[in-house]
Structure 1
Amino acid sequence: MDFRALGMGVAFALMWSSAFTSAKIAVVYAPPFAILSVRFLISGLIAVGIAYALGQRAALTRRQWVAVVLFGLCQNVVYLGANFFAAQYIEASLAVIVASLLPLLVAGANALRGERLGAVALMGLLAGLAGVLVIMGDRLSGGADSFGVFVVVVGVLALTVATLLVQGAAPQGNVIMIVGLQMLVGSAALFPLSLLTETWVIDWQWPLIAAFTYTTLVPGLLATVTWFLLVKRVGPTRAATFHFLNPFLGVAIAAIILGEALSLRDILGVAVIMAGILAVQLSRMPAEALARR
């Protein structure tokens, strides 16, 4: 892995991890589904406009269209919708911990589908799951909202299913166009949901404007494009290795910006989760290299 890929991976992890904190700030001032709907509309139009300027077109294969719609619904509507909704009830750091289950759940599901896991990967998978469960149990016993936790768990399960269904269908070209189309799918689905379930009362304070602008342009657009370019450059397994940074970065950003308290058990749990994710992903690299030969 070259230095450019390394920089892209760290930048993606930092941007992705910060999204939970900006969401927590935004939902204090506006309804979560309304925020997401407008965010995806703006991000999607910007991405499509940039794509057209670069000569990219929405001439996709049937498989790519399926991936666009599926990811637009599962990632942008169910997964992110669940996280923004739950941000009204639980701390951003807890949402990050639950979201860190994604690479572990994908690895476990692939194992059930026949992918062989070595001893190191299996130990990493079990350690990562144990770390998440320890932190969740500690937070729930300390008064964390169980409904909010349930919602984010549903979200990460939805994204896991979508990831499994479209594995191998990652875009090889028209990356920015596909990112924009996925966001527009999310906006189109979230807008009527917001009208049906929310009252559009928005308190236009500067924290909302700052959080909305940031989440629209950075985690919403730049991080997504960075991820697809990283996958194209180094492959999905190597790219997924950077997810091991998300628990630490997400918890640290929430603590610094929101002042969320961290216990010693939280810190130990995050360390175990990071080690587990890293072990699972690194153990899969030799298999990926062998498959390319």
Structure 2
Amino acid sequence: MDVKAILMGLAFAVMWASAFTTTRMIVVAAPPLTALVIRFAISAVLGIMLARAMGQSWRLSRAEWRVLILFGIMQNALYLGLNWIAMQWVEAAAASIIASMMPLLVAFFGWLWLGERLRMPAVIGLAMGVAGVVLIMGVRLQHGLSLFGALLCLIAVVALTVATLVVRGSGGSRNMMMIVALQMAVGAVVLALPAALLEWGRPIDWSCQLIVAFLYTILAPGLAATFIWFQLVNRIGAVRAATFHFLSPIFGVAIAALLLGERFGASDVIGAIIIAVGILLVQTAKLPPATATSR
């Protein structure tokens, strides 16, 4: 793995983890689903324009349409929709910790449903990941963590895990940015009716912080991180790229503490490190021996 790939992976991890902090800023000031519909609509327009500038087409294959519709519903509408609702009551650090379980859940459900073999480092990593989450959430529950909000976050990450397993191995399209943009359009369409029914008339507390957080969420985690991710996958492969997820719990907790002043106790530090090591073990266990030491 070269220096450029490492820098790309670090940039992706920081932007992905920071999204929980900016989301928390947004949902305490604005109706979450309405804000998410607006975010998806703007991101879809910008993404389509960028894809067209890159020479990409919206004439997609049936398989590509299946992937983007499934991910638009499961990732954007369900995963992000439930997360944004939950973060009205759940702190950004807690939401990022739950979301960081996704690589662990992919490995677990792959073993449970698809019969995929788990090497011993992956088994150890899964156990460590669960232990780290239990440690952090157990302490946070004692300090008033919303059980309902945490449950919504858990359902959200399970939805994303299922979608990831269903479409795994279907990447490599020449129209990937267009697919990403259209996924966001699907998310906006699916969430438009629930947003109107549940949040019509709810006020928005406008501020500079809200506007900056909203723009950042659209441009950085929404578009830039997605673009970097696919470039990273093309450069080093999906399995190696996914190892950078091990930084998410550490960055997520640290950024929330820095920008929002959220509690940052010893249990958060220890738990985040345990989860990070667990994710790293799970991901590196997937690397074939021939390529694991080739660079």
Q: What TM-score does the superposition give when structure 1 sets the normalisation length?
A: 0.96
Is the CA contact (8 Å cut-off) linking 2:72 and 2:187 kept in structure 1?
Answer: yes
Q: Give unmatched runs, 5+ long, in structure 1.
A: none
Q: Which residue of the partner structure matches residue 27 of structure 1?
A: 27
Instruction: Indicate yes or no: 2:163 matched with 1:162.
Output: yes
Deviation at 1:175, TM superposition (A): 1.7
Q: Distance in 1 between matches of 2:156 and 2:92?
A: 15
Q: Give unmatched runs, 5+ long, in structure 2.
A: none
Going from structure 1 to structure 2, the CA distance change for 1:87 and 1:288 (only over 3 Å counts) comes to farther
Deviations 1:144-177 (A, max 9, x none): 1100000000000000000000001124311211
How many residues of Structure 1 are paired with residues of Structure 2 in the alignment?
290
Q: Distance in 1 between matches of 2:236 and 2:173?
A: 12
Is the CA contact (8 Å cut-off) linking 2:253 and 2:268 kept in structure 1?
Answer: no
Q: What TM-score does the superposition give when structure 2 sets the normalisation length?
A: 0.95
Deviation at 1:233, TM superposition (A): 2.1
Q: Which amino acid aligns with 2:165?
A: L
User: Runs ≥4 in structure 1, deviation > 6 angstroms?
Assistant: none
Deviation at 1:288, TM superposition (A): 8.8
Q: Which residue of the partner structure matches residue 229 of structure 1?
A: 231
1:128-277 matches, within 5 Å, as: 128-199=129-200, 200-277=202-279
What SS class does the counterpart of residue 169 from structure 1 fall into?
Answer: coil
Going from structure 1 to structure 2, the CA distance change for 1:24 and 1:231 (only over 3 Å counts) comes to same
What percent identity do the matched residue pairs reach? 49
Deviations 1:182-226 (A, max 9, x none): 111111111111001113421221111111111011111111121
What SS class does the counterpart of residue 193 from structure 1 fall into?
Answer: helix
Q: Which amino acid aligns with 1:166?
A: V
What is the alpha-carbon root mean square deviation over aligned residues? 1.4
Q: Which residue of the partner structure matches residue 127 of structure 1?
A: 128
Q: Distance in 2 between matches of 1:177 and 1:289?
A: 31
Deviation at 1:287, TM superposition (A): 6.3
Q: Which sits farther off after the overlay, 255-264 or 279-288?
A: 279-288
Is the CA contact (8 Å cut-off) linking 1:29 and 1:208 kept in structure 2?
Answer: yes
Q: Which residue of the partner structure matches residue 82 of structure 1?
A: 82
Q: Which sits farther off after the overlay, 54-63 or 41-50?
A: 54-63
Q: Distance in 2 between matches of 1:2 and 1:58?
A: 33
Q: Distance in 2 between matches of 1:97 and 1:220?
A: 19
Is the CA contact (8 Å cut-off) linking 2:28 and 2:88 kept in structure 1?
Answer: yes
